[in-house]
Structure 1
Amino acid sequence: MRAIWKGAVSFGLVSVPVKLYSATESHDVSFRQVHAKDGGRIKYQRVCSIDGEEVPYSDIAKGFETEDGEMVILTDDDMANLPTTSSREIAVEKFVPVDQIDPMLFEKSYYLEPEGTGAKPYALLRQALLDSKRMAVVTVALRQRTTTAVLRVRETEAGEVIVLQTMMWPDEIRQPDFKVETGEVKDAEVKMAQMLIETLSGDFDPSEFEDDYADAVNAVVKAKIEGGEVQRTETSAKTGGEVVDLLAALQRSVEAAKTSRGESEPAPAKKATAKKSTATKAPAKKAAAKKTAAKKATTKKATTKKAATKKAAAKKAS
C-alpha cells in the first residue's frame, strides 16, 4: 500500500503524526466500447453543441449551468480565488456515540498509520475510542477541500486500526418524495415476521458472499479466448494483452475470495505460459531463416569456386 496523504491528528494538546491509505478498492468489471464488426475501440471527440466544431482541450473551460439553462463560465482566475486549504491537520471537533451518525453519510474509507513518534498517542486515541464507544468527528483537507469525517476503530488481520471515513454533507442526502401506505398490520402477521427473523438470524460474515457477476464474466471471457473468439485489431500488437489482463484480474479476484474461505488454492496464471510459448516460437522461426540464408550463401560460394577452377583449367590447356 502507498500512503496518499501525510499529516497529524490533533485532539486537545495531543498531536499524532499519521499516514493515510485508501482502505478500499473497486473490483467492478469494466468493459470497453468497441465496434461489434471488428473489435475496434470507439473514440469520442470534444464537439461544441453550438457550432459543431471539435474543441481542443486548451479551449475548454469550466461552466456552471443555472436552473434556467444559462451557462456561467468560470476562468482560471475565478477558480484560483475559491477557498482552498493545504492544511495537514485532522482536527477533532467532538466525540459522539457510535449510533448517532447515519451510515448513509459515510463516503470513503482510509486507514491511519502512526508515523515516527506517533505510535504511543495513536494507541492512546485508539483505546479511548474503544472504551468510550464513541467516534471522533473531525475536519480534514483532502484534495484542497475541507470535509467532515469520523475516526473509528476497525478490527483487521493486522490488529485494531483507526479508520477515517469521509462524510457527505447533510444536503447531499436525498429525501424520498413518496409515502409508504401500509394499511393495517395485524398482530398475527407481526409475530409471524418475528419468527421468520429469528429463523434467519445470525452473525454477519462477509466471506459468505461473493461477486457472482464477476465470476460469470470470467467464465465467459475464458471460454471465448480458449475458443479463439478474439478480434485481432490494428492495435492488438500493443494492447492485445488487455483482455488477458482483465481475465487474469478477475481470475485472481475469484481465487483470492475462494482461498480466503479455504475452498481451494490459487491456480497458476496462464499468462506467463503464453508469453513463454511465444518467446520460444519466435526464435525458432528466426533461426530457420538464418539457416536458409547460410545455406544459400554456401551454395553461392561453392558455385563461384567451381567456375573459377574450370576457367583456370581451360586457360592452362590453351
Structure 2
Amino acid sequence: MRSIWRGAITFGLVNVPVKLYAATEDHDLSLHQVHDADGGRIRYQRRCEVCGRIVDYEHIDRAYDAGDRTVVITDEDLKTLPIEKSREIDVVEFVPSEQVDTIRLDKNYFLEPDSKSPRSYMLLKRVLEKADRIAIVQFTLRQKTRLGALRVHGDVLLLQSLLWDDEVRQAEFPSLKTDIRIQQRELEMAEALVRSFESDFSPADYTDEYQVQLKKLVDAKLAHGESVDTEATFGEQPEGKGDGEVIDLMEALRRSVAANREASEQRASTSKTRTKTPAKRGA
C-alpha cells in the first residue's frame, strides 16, 4: 500500500506521527463506454465554452456560481486558507462507540506509526481499547475539512471520516405516520422467522455475484467473440417470481419459516456428511 497523507494525531500535548492509507478498495471490473456502431472508445474532453479549445488540467481553476456572478478560486487562493495548511488529526473528545451513528460513516483509512519509536501510537491504541471509546477528530484531507472517528481495528488505528450534520438527511415519510396495528400472532411469527435466520456474521461467506458473472461474461467473450451462448455460459436461468402483492401476511410468514427451517436442516445434513469422511487406514 502507498500512503496518501502524512501528519500527526494530537491530543493535549501528545503528538503521534502517522501515515494514512486507504483501508478499502473497489473490486468492480472497470468498464468504459464505446460507440455501439463501431466499438470506438468514447472520451470526454475538457473544452472551454468561450474559446472552444481543449484545456489541460494545469490551466483549469475552480469557480462558484452565485447566480448573477461567478467567483473563480485558484489553487493559490486555496493554499492561503489557514485550515488547508494543517497536517494534524486533532482529537476534540472521546465518546461512547454507540453514539456514532453508522449512517454518518464515510471513508476508512488505516494509520501507521511514522516515527522511529511507535510508543505514542501504541499508548493511544491501548487507551482507546481500555476506555472502550472512540476519539472524535478533525482533520484536513484533499482540500476538505473533515470530521472523523478514530478507533482501534485489530492491531492498528482506523480513521473513519464522518459526514457533517447537515449532510445527513432527515427521513419523514407520510406513509409511516398512519396508525398501523400489528397483531400479536404476526409479531410472534415474524420473531420466529428472525430466529430461524440467526447466525454469526462472516464477511468471507459472501460474494459479489454480479461481478463474478460479469467476469465470466467477459472471459466468454474473450474466448468466443461477440456471439456468446448465455445458457451455455451461465446455465439455464430460472424465470422471475414476479412482483405480485402478498395478500396474506401470516401465510407468507409461515411459509418463510418452514422454507428456511428446511434449508437449515439440509445445510446441517450436508455438513455432517462432510465431517464423517472415513480416515485412511495406515499401511
Identity of aligned pairs, percent? 41
Unaligned 5+ segments in structure 2 are 228-283
Separation (CA, whole Å) in 2 of partners of 1:105 and 1:166: 8
Alignment-mate amino acid for residue 54 of structure 1: G
* SS of aligned partner of 1:57: coil
Aligned ranges 1:202-221 → 2 under 5 Å: 202-221=199-218
Partner Cα distance (1:75, 1:56) in 2: 20
CA contact (8 A) 1:126 1:162 kept: yes
> Cα distance, 1:47 vs. partner?
5.3
Aligned counterparts of 2:109 and 2:117: Cα–Cα separation in 1: 17
Question: Per the alignment, do residues 135 and 118 of structure 1 end up closer, same or farther by CA in structure 2, a change over 3 Å counting?
Answer: farther
Is residue 27 of structure 1 aligned with residue 27 of structure 2? yes
List structure 1 runs of 4+ shifted beyond 3 angstroms.
44-49, 58-63, 77-84
Alignment check: 8 A CA contact 1:47 1:55 kept: yes
Q: Which residue of 1 aligns with 2:253?
A: none
2:18 maps to what in 1? 18
Code of the aligned partner of 2:19: K
The 5 A counterparts of 1:33-48 are 33-46=33-46
TM-fit CA distance, 1:64:
2.7
> Is the Cα contact below 8 Å between 1:16 and 1:118 reproduced in 2?
no
What is the aligned partner in structure 2 of residue 124 from structure 1? 123
Residue deviations 1:83-122, cap 9 Å, x none? 5422221111110000001111111111111122441221
> What is the TM-score with the length of structure 1 in the denominator?
0.63
Q: Which residue of 2 aligns with 1:172?
A: 167
Contact 2:48 2:55 in 1 (8 A): no
Contact kept? 1:63, 1:71, Cα under 8 Å: no
Q: In the TM superposition, what whole-angstrom CA distance separates every residue of 1:110-167 from its partner, at most 9, and x where no partner exists?
A: 1111122441221221121112111000111212332111110112xxxx21101111
Cα pair 1:86 1:144 within 8 Å, conserved: no
Q: Is the alpha carbon distance of 1:110 and 1:189 closer, same or farther for their aligned partners in structure 2, counting shifts above 3 Å?
A: same
Q: How far off its partner does 1:82 sit? A: 4.8
- For normalisation by structure 2, the TM-score amounts to 0.70
Q: Which runs of 5+ in 1 are unaligned?
A: 231-318
Q: Which has the higher helix share?
A: 1
Distance 1:96 1:227 in 2: 58
Q: Distance in 2 between matches of 1:61 and 1:10?
A: 33
Aligned length: 222
| Matching residue of 2:270 | none
Larger Rg: 1
Report whether the alignment pairs 1:161 with 2:160. Answer: no
- Distance in 2 of aligned mates of 1:75 and 1:9: 30
Verify: 1:184 aligned to 2:181, yes or no: yes
Q: Secondary structure at the match of 1:40?
A: coil
Q: Which residue of 1 aligns with 2:7?
A: 7
Distance 1:192 1:101, change over 3 A: same
Amino acid at match of 1:44: Y
Distance across 2 between alignment mates of 1:43 and 1:153: 43
* 1:54 alignment counterpart: 52
1:140 to 1:79, Cα distance in 2 relative to 1, 3 A = closer
| Structure 2 residue 213 is the aligned partner of structure 1 residue 225 | no
Contact 1:96 1:134 in 2 (8 A): yes
